[in-house]
Amino acid sequence: MKSLIDILDMTTGELDELIAVAEDIIANPEKYAEACHGLKLASLFFEPSTRTRMSFEAAMYELGGNVISVTGAGTSSAAKGESVADTAKTVSCYTDIIAIRHPKEGAAYVTAQNATIPVINAGDGGHCHPTQTLADLLTIWREKGRLTNLTIGVCGDLKFGRTVHSLINAMSRYEGNRFVLISPEELKVPSYVKKDVLQQKGIPYVQTTDLESVMPELDILYMTRVQRERFFNEEDYLRLKDSYILTTDKLKTAKPDLSILHPLPRVNEISVAVDDDPRACYFKQVLNGKYMRMALILKLLREAGKIR
Amino acid sequence: MNIDSINNGIVIDHITAGNGMKLYELLKLGDLDCSVAIIKNVTSHKMGRKDIIKIDADIPVNLDVIGFVDPGATINIIRDGVLVEKRAIEMPERLVGVIKCKNPRCITSCEQEIEHIFKLTDREHKVYRCIYCETKAN
């Protein structure tokens, strides 16, 4: 059973196919309006989410399907101590595809191991968030017309920022890309991303704490939030939360065709004034996320034999 | 220092000095009823210093554990006082139920029934990572 747990579960060929389907959905939405008629998405969100949950649910509704939701561990059998494995087996009896967000890393993998229907990882703690990466890829594709030969700056919490890990994994498979990793010392990219992905594949990258000094080099600037929920220690969070704030002033040295991405939610790491800059793409990214989730749901349901 | 030779059993030789106790613990040799000897810091022409473990019984040994801790070690099977077999050690691709993931954010930290599984991600540097959260094994 094909599931999406990590962005690396998809080949670049499959990613290209998802982008092509998403583009077709954008151009011809009516063609897909009944594609999932009679099918149900289980939307299991054991951790707070606005965008991702609504995006999955909107995606399924726009494909003509239905949605059954669980929001928050407190309102489900997880509160009674039910294991993730048992939840997966149970939910498989009611629905056709699962989207799961869970605070524990690896929870989506355990779900996929135990479910009899396709599973989509909608975020497992600080580990992976592959469908955000799908949104990022479509946005880069639509803004730049390519996924190759780009200098990609990722800025903020690169340690716990799962979207960053997935983006690096995905973009390092396309030719000619280079990464600029901008973070405070305490929130650097984990060694498994650096060693197993960047160094192993010989992908050029630099690490810096200074956003302004690298700004002129960037084709993409991927800003992230310092996430309060990933810290065990509130003091550390307070010390690091305002490390980088992108303002219109800081963008003066940036390329005119820079694309600014952010997985959202934003707290204060991008000044609201930047929203009016034509280089700001983060709200387009939200919409692109829905189209890619539609394309993904279609692909997984087709491969599971649920639709043609 | 003299340790009696064994008649029927297993000798794990060429253990990197210092790894003997770790192997003893992970192989759960403390649970055995038979005699087990750990000889530490033995002079070795090839290695300088090495550890040796002698187990006075022909029991099944988890080769994956040895491959994980010390792939350079060798296994000698002794029967009737004679070396009858040498077993090659390889780093296992997957390590199941041997070590635990120490990441407090990993799903294995709160769901006890999930088996702890690690996969080999970098053979050259002997790096194993949790299959659930990708945390490196220590």
Report the SS3 class of residue A85: helix
| Cβ B74 vs Cβ B63: under 8 Å | no
For chain A, which residues make up each domain, given as ranges?
7-129+287-303, 130-285
pLDDT category at B2 given cuts 50, 70, 90 is low
Between CA A96 and CA A42 the distance in angstroms is 8
> Is the preceding omega at residue A265 within 30 degrees of 0, hence cis?
yes
C-alpha distance from A193 to closest chain B C-alpha (Å): 10
Tell whether A8 is within 8 A of chain B (Cβ).
Answer: no
What is the pLDDT of chain A when averaged over all its residues?
92
Look up A101 and say whether it is catalytic.
Answer: yes
CB interface of B with A, residues 52-111, below 8 Å: 103, 105-111
Question: Catalytic: A306?
Answer: no
How does pLDDT run across B95-130, given as a tens digit for each residue?
999 999 999 999 999 998 899 999 998 888 899 999
Q: Express each pLDDT in A223-246 by its tens digit.
A: 998 877 666 677 777 777 777 899
How confident is the model over B4-47, as pLDDT tens digits?
A: 678 899 999 999 999 999 999 999 999 999 999 999 999 999 89
Highest mean pLDDT among A45-54, A152-161, A264-273, A281-290: A281-290
Residues 92-121 of A with CB under 8 A from B: 102-107, 109-110
A80 among known catalytic residues: yes
Interface test with A, best of B134, B135, B136 (most A CBs within 10 A): B134
Q: Using one digit for the tens of pLDDT, what is the confidence trace for A138-172?
A: 999 999 999 999 999 999 989 888 789 889 999 99
The pLDDT assigned to A62 comes to 98
- Which one of 3.90.1170.40, 3.20.20.60, 3.40.50.300, 3.40.50.1370 gives the CATH number of domain A130-285? 3.40.50.1370
Which chain A residues are within 8 Å of B123, Cβ to Cβ?
none
Average pLDDT in the A179-194 region?
A: 89
User: What is the predicted pLDDT for the residue at A162?
Assistant: 78
The mean pLDDT value for A88-96 works out to 97
d(CA B45, CA A188): 44
Distance of CA A34 to the CA centre of its chain: 26
Cβ distance A106 to B130 less than 8 Å, yes or no, reads yes
Who among B111, B122, B131 is closest to A84 (CB)? B111
Q: How many CB pairs (< 8 A) connect A and B? A: 59
* Per-residue confidence (pLDDT) for residue A216, from 0 to 100: 98
Instruction: Verify whether residue A129 is a known catalytic residue.
Output: yes
pLDDT band at A125 (very low <50, low <70, confident <90, very high): confident
Q: Where are the alpha helices (DSSP H) in chain A?
A: 12-27, 51-62, 84-94, 107-114, 130-144, 162-171, 191-193, 200-201, 211-214, 234-240, 282-303
Per cent of chain A over pLDDT 70 is: 95
d(CA A110, CA A89) in angstroms, rounded, equals 11
The partner residue sitting opposite B133, judged by closest CB among A85, A127, A196, is: A127
Helices (H) and strands (E) in chain B, counts: 2, 8
User: Could you tell me the domains of chain B?
Assistant: 9-87 (3.30.70.140), 94-130 (no CATH)
Q: Please give, rounded to a whole number of angstroms, the shortest distance from the CA of B108 to a CA of chain A.
A: 8
The answer to whether the CB atoms of A105 and B132 lie below 8 A apart is yes
Consecutive H or E run containing B36: strand B36-44
Q: Is B122 on the interface with A (CB under 8 A)?
A: yes
Separation in Å, CA of B15 to nearest CA in chain A: 28
**How close is the nearest chain B Cα to the Cα of A33, in Å?**
36
| Helix (H), strand (E) at residue B57 | none
What six digits make up the tokens of B35?
Answer: 């005699």
**Contact status of B128 with chain A (Cβ, < 8 Å):** no
CATH topology of domain A7-129+287-303: Rossmann fold (3.40.50)
Q: Cβ A106–B109 below 8 Å, yes or no?
A: no
Residues A104-120 have a mean pLDDT of 97
Provide the pLDDT for residue A63. 98
DSSP states of A34-75: TTTTT-EEEEEESS--SHHHHHHHHHHHHTT-EEEEEESGGG
Q: What is the pLDDT of residues B51-101, one digit of tens each?
A: 999 999 988 889 999 999 999 999 999 999 899 999 889 999 999 999 999
What's the pLDDT score for residue A80? 66
Give the integer Cα–Cα distance in Å for B135 and B104.
10
pLDDT at A61: 98
In whole angstroms, what is the distance from residue A190 CA to residue A154 CA?
A: 14
pLDDT, residue A134, reads 97
